[in-house]
């Protein structure tokens, strides 16, 4: 049985701290996957350069 987990992911874009909520079925979420999911889920961040994810 799969459970969805809610993650609050913080990052920096254009020298401004931001955060987004992601829902993912994995029990953990590494920074690389978090960045990919953020860029996929939020069109305004698709081409953004994120740091400190």
The pLDDT, as a whole number, for residue 39 is 95
Q: What is the rounded CA–CA span in Å between residue 5 and residue 47?
A: 26
Q: What is the mean pLDDT of residues 24-40?
A: 93
pLDDT, residue 2, reads 66
Q: Express each pLDDT in 9-25 by its tens digit.
A: 999 999 999 999 999 99
Instruction: Decide: 12 and 49 in contact? Cβ < 8 Å.
Output: no
Please report which confidence band the pLDDT of residue 3 belongs to, taking 50, 70 and 90 as the band edges: confident
The closest alpha carbon to 44, from 25, 18, 9, belongs to 18
């Amino acid at each position: 049985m799969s459970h969805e987990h809610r993650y609050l992911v913080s990052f920096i874009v254009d020298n401004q701290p931001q955060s987004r909520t992601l829902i993912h079925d994995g029990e953990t979420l590494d920074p690389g996957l978090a960045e990919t999911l953020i860029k996929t889920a939020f069109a305004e961040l698709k081409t953004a350069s994120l740091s400190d994810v």
